[in-house]
């Protein structure tokens, strides 16, 4: 694993630089990331490229065994560029152009900005592309962050109009498919179309909150803006690939903070990279982003370009508290266990100035190493011990499926807002599977489903005919499919189906949705689940679909006018089985429901018994099963075993339970796995 920090030599005096380099070389890390905000230092005036200051650091660290990730600095254009070409400035949905200052104030579609970005990227590629002390490149920094992903400048408006014309061919076709006749919104030509006033962009301000715009237009603008960001990124990626064989990535933020479709954006990148800032004080680190990251490029290892390093953000109450001793180490091992091939803390030393001054870091402003630095040293040593297991594979037979069109559509016209959040709900499905003793992958709608025995598809709100047919084939060929309320309600144009719901899939699920409503505290209704030998009582949540059809009712309402109505179905279709979950149920009931279908699918539970806030991650190498166990309970605990296990790091064997320290972890080896796989190939 490439392990290290983000570092900013452009900030340093000669004395500070030498002090930092000494600490970096003694830390045991093997990677630093540099340069993402240093355009004014790399090119102080047009065409005057200077990398000598960075060369010195790359060489000194490289000779000590520390490789560098070099970033293109296009997140922060220099003042000379902006004042010579003010047309490159970002214009938000209010029509406000952002002035120079801060970061991410450029338009990603502006041809002038693209040309200057191309030039600086080419110089970086030419200069560092074959440097033996460089191990990769990062493009830009957190694309579309700080509400900079939905530009409304004249260049974007014109390009969006052309995008719509290319897609729909005629304005009559667009009017028909979008239902523009509603409220008399038909257009006469594509040049009458403006980007939508409303936006789902995080932190953006709505100037006309009751200005209702066509949902098709809004979804198309989300797609257009995402594609434009990807197009801008790929200008740089193509150049870097021309000059270097080192891997190229960028750093996303969350699954959808910046509303870029990562499944598309990483096709021209060598690895998916993202930033992650979880709390580390008596808190479990959600592994859903890791599972998502692993699925973005079909199971390939991912990079975490920025990760928590400590507390004390701005020395005030709005920041993160300090991690427990051992929590940094634990979190890094967890990321490694989930498939990370790089983990870089943000950042090495606290900034004394600028917008992020007094921020958390591995080393404080005074440059004196303390517990976070020493914990990083210890983490580096443990990663070396784990190197022998870095090629262990994931062998999960369950997948949770997510989609960006669904996310965007449910943000444009929310359902039961704010209680229901699509990506949060998908994450809940993933985490409850884990709590029930099963590991899952997270994949997109275009992924290959054939390798999975059990698919969980939360709220496939948008499902085109092609995707409906893909689900039909999956079940027909023997797969087990669980889909939830709000399945197949709209087509790819963000227009509701006039078929009975779930549209195009009534035969697969054996049900028709007869009635729907959101679920609030005031109208929660009880239901009963009949799962083989288990009968459970729950209440509904978030949404309620009343179902009719020839499917078997395994969940039935027991209260109010809904008494006797089917809420959860099970249906045989072809060689497979489908389940339509018409509402949300409590955690315990959901885990029983998952276990019920996993048993039908022949999916084995982990032999390490699940426990709340203790994560178990299954990997396999050379026919041997390994289990990383991570203790997030904020206290010493133990985990029951169904069979003896060998502790790889502590070189001992546990017969019935494994002890785990607070913020502790273990790597367990299944002793009989080789025999088992020989007997049952």
Separation of alpha carbons 64 and 28, rounded Å? 10
The CATH number of whichever domain residue 469 belongs to comes to: 3.40.50.880
Query: End of a domain among 389, 420, 436?
Result: 389
Q: How many residues does the chain have?
A: 681
pLDDT in the model for residue 356: 87
Say if 353 falls within a structural domain: yes
State what percent of residues in the chain have pLDDT above 90: 92
Q: Positive or negative CA dihedral for 182, 494, 198, 421?
A: positive
Separation of alpha carbons 394 and 456, rounded Å? 18
Q: Give how many domains the chain has, as a whole number.
A: 3
My answer on whether 128 and 92 are in the same domain is: yes
Phi-psi sector, 486: left (phi>0), alpha (psi -120 to 50), beta: left
pLDDT in the model for residue 50: 98
**Number of C-alpha atoms within 13 angstroms, CB side, residue 401?**
28
Separation of alpha carbons 37 and 49, rounded Å? 15
Average pLDDT of the chain is 95
Q: The domain containing residue 647 runs over which residues?
A: 614-679
In angstroms, the Cα distances linking 509 to 7, 292, 487, 599, 634 are: 54, 27, 11, 19, 43
My answer on whether 629 and 551 are in the same domain is: no
Assess whether pLDDT exceeds 80 at residue 602. Answer: yes
Say if 190 falls within a structural domain: no
pLDDT tens digits for range 613-630: 999 999 999 999 999 999
My answer on whether 383 and 405 are in the same domain is: no
My answer on whether 374 and 435 are in the same domain is: no
**Burial of 530 by CB count in 10 Å (0-12 exposed, 13-18 middle, 19+ buried)?**
middle
Residue 546 near residue 512 (C-beta atoms within 8 A): no
Closest CA to 540 of 485, 502, 594, 579: 485
In angstroms, the Cα distances linking 56 to 10, 15, 28, 122 are: 12, 14, 20, 20
My answer on whether 340 and 358 are in the same domain is: yes
My answer on whether 322 and 282 are in the same domain is: yes
User: For the whole model, what pTM was predicted?
Assistant: 0.96
**How crowded is residue 655: how many other Cβ atoms within 10 Å of its Cβ?**
9
Say if 269 falls within a structural domain: yes
List the 645-647 sheet strands across, edge first: 614-621, 624-631, 665-670, 645-647, 652-654
At residue 318 the predicted structure's pLDDT band, cuts being 50, 70 and 90, is: low
My answer on whether 321 and 260 are in the same domain is: yes
pLDDT, average across residues 370-390: 96
Q: Where are the beta strands (DSSP E) in 257-415?
A: 273-276, 302-307, 340-345, 398-402
My answer on whether 531 and 629 are in the same domain is: no
pLDDT tens digits for range 346-369: 999 999 998 888 888 999 999 999
My answer on whether 115 and 56 are in the same domain is: yes
pLDDT in the model for residue 673: 60
Residue 632 near residue 613 (C-beta atoms within 8 A): yes
Say if 296 falls within a structural domain: yes
125 or 681, greater pLDDT = 125
Query: Where is 480: in which H helix or E strand?
Result: strand 480-484
Assess whether pLDDT exceeds 90 at residue 207. Answer: no
Assess whether pLDDT exceeds 80 at residue 272. Answer: yes
**How crowded is residue 385: how many other Cβ atoms within 10 Å of its Cβ?**
11
Query: End of a domain among 389, 408, 441?
Result: 389
My answer on whether 278 and 365 are in the same domain is: yes
- The torsion angle over the Cα atoms of residues 408, 117, 251 and 229, rounded to 10 degrees, is 10
Query: End of a domain among 338, 354, 389?
Result: 389
Q: Which positions ≥6 away from 244 have C-beta within 8 Å? A: 125, 128, 129, 130, 134, 137
Say if 93 falls within a structural domain: yes
Assess whether pLDDT exceeds 60 at residue 317. Answer: no
Assess whether pLDDT exceeds 70 at residue 530. Answer: yes
pLDDT tens digits for range 491-512: 999 999 999 999 999 999 999 9
Assess whether pLDDT exceeds 50 at residue 17. Answer: yes
Q: Which of 306-310, 312-316, 614-618 has the highest mean pLDDT?
A: 614-618
Closest CA to 602 of 577, 625, 626: 577
Residue 519 near residue 396 (C-beta atoms within 8 A): no
* β-strand partners of 670: 645
My answer on whether 570 and 625 are in the same domain is: no
Say if 215 falls within a structural domain: no
The CATH number of whichever domain residue 368 belongs to comes to: 3.20.20.80
pLDDT tens digits for range 427-459: 999 999 999 999 999 999 999 999 999 999 999
Say if 480 falls within a structural domain: yes
Q: Positive or negative CA dihedral for 44, 50, 53, 55?
A: positive
My answer on whether 110 and 254 are in the same domain is: yes
Say if 176 falls within a structural domain: no
pLDDT tens digits for range 112-162: 999 999 999 999 999 999 999 999 999 999 999 999 999 999 999 999 999
Assess whether pLDDT exceeds 60 at residue 181. Answer: yes
Closest CA to 108 of 93, 89, 128: 89
681 or 199, greater pLDDT = 199
518 or 360, greater pLDDT = 518
Residue owning tokens 């900013």: 8
Tell me: cis bond preceding 72? Omega within 30 of 0 counts: no
At residue 680 the predicted structure's pLDDT band, cuts being 50, 70 and 90, is: very low
The CATH number of whichever domain residue 669 belongs to comes to: 2.60.40.1180
Assess whether pLDDT exceeds 50 at residue 678. Answer: no
């Amino acid at each position: 694993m490439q392990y290290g920090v983000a570092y900013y030599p452009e900030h340093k005096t000669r004395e500070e630089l030498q002090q930092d380099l000494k600490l970096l070389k003694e830390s045991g890390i093997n990677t630093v990331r540099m340069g993402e905000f240093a355009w004014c230092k790399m090119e102080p005036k047009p065409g005057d490229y200077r990398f000598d200051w960075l060369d010195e650091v790359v060489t000194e660290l490289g000779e000590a065994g520390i490789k560098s990730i070099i970033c293109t600095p296009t997140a922060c254009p220099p003042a000379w560029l902006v004042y010579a070409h003010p047309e490159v400035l970002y214009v938000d949905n209010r029509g406000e152009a952002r002035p120079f200052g801060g970061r991410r104030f450029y338009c990603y579609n502006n041809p002038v900005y693209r040309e200057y970005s191309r030039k600086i990227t080419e110089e970086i590629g030419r200069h560092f592309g074959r440097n033996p002390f460089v191990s990769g490149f990062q493009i830009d920094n957190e694309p579309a962050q700080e509400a900079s992903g939905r530009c409304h400048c004249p260049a974007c408006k014109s390009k969006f109009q052309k995008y719509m014309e290319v897609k729909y061919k005629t304005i009559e076709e667009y009017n028909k498919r979008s239902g523009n006749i509603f409220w008399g919104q038909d257009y006469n030509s594509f040049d009458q179309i403006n980007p939508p006033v409303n936006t789902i962009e995080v932190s953006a301000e709505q100037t006309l909150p009751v200005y209702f715009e066509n949902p098709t237009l809004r979804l198309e603008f989300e797609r257009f803006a995402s594609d434009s960001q990807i197009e801008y990124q790929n200008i740089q990626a193509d150049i870097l690939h021309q000059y270097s064989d080192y891997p190229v990535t960028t750093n996303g933020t969350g699954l959808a903070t910046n509303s870029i479709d990562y499944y598309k954006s990483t096709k021209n990148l060598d690895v998916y990279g993202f930033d992650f800032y979880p709390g580390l004080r008596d808190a479990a680190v959600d592994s859903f982003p890791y599972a998502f990251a692993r699925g973005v490029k079909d199971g390939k290892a991912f990079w975490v370009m920025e990760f928590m390093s400590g507390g004390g953000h701005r020395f005030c109450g709005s920041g993160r508290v300090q991690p427990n001793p051992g929590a940094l180490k634990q979190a890094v091992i967890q990321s490694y266990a989930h498939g990370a091939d790089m983990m870089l803390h943000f950042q090495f030393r606290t900034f004394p100035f600028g917008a992020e001054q007094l921020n958390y870091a591995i080393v404080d402003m005074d440059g004196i190493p303390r517990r976070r630095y020493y914990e990083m040293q210890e983490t580096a040593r443990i990663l070396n011990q784990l190197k022998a297991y870095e090629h262990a594979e994931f062998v999960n037979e369950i997948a949770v499926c997510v989609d960006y069109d669904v996310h965007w559509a449910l943000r444009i016209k929310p359902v039961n807002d704010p209680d229901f959040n699509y990506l949060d709900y998908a994450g809940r499905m993933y985490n409850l599977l884990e709590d029930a003793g099963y590991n899952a992958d997270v994949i997109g709608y275009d992924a290959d489903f054939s390798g999975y025995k059990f698919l969980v598809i939360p709220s496939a709100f948008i499902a085109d005919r092609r995707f409906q047919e893909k689900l039909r084939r999956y079940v027909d060929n023997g797969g087990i499919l669980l889909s939830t309320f709000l399945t197949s309600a709209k087509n790819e144009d963000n227009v509701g189906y006039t078929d009975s719901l779930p549209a195009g899939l009534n035969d697969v699920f054996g049900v028709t949705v007869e009635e729907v409503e959101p679920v609030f505290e005031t109208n929660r209704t009880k239901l009963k689940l009949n799962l083989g030998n288990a009968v459970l009582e729950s209440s509904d949540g978030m949404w309620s679909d009343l179902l009719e059809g020839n499917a078997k009712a395994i969940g039935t309402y027991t209260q109010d006018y809904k008494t006797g109505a089917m809420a959860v179905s099970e249906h045989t279709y072809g060689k497979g089985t489908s389940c339509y979950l018409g509402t949300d149920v409590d955690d315990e009931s959901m885990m029983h429901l998952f276990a019920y279908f996993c048993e039908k699918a022949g999916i084995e539970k982990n032999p390490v018994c699940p426990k709340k806030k203790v994560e178990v991650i299954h990997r396999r190498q050379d026919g041997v099963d390994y289990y990383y166990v991570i203790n997030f309970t904020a206290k010493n605990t133990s985990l029951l075993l169904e069979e003896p296990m060998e502790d790889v790091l502590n070189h001992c064997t546990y017969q019935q339970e494994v002890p785990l320290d607070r913020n502790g972890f273990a790597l367990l080896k299944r002793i009989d796995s080789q025999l088992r796989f020989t007997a049952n190939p």
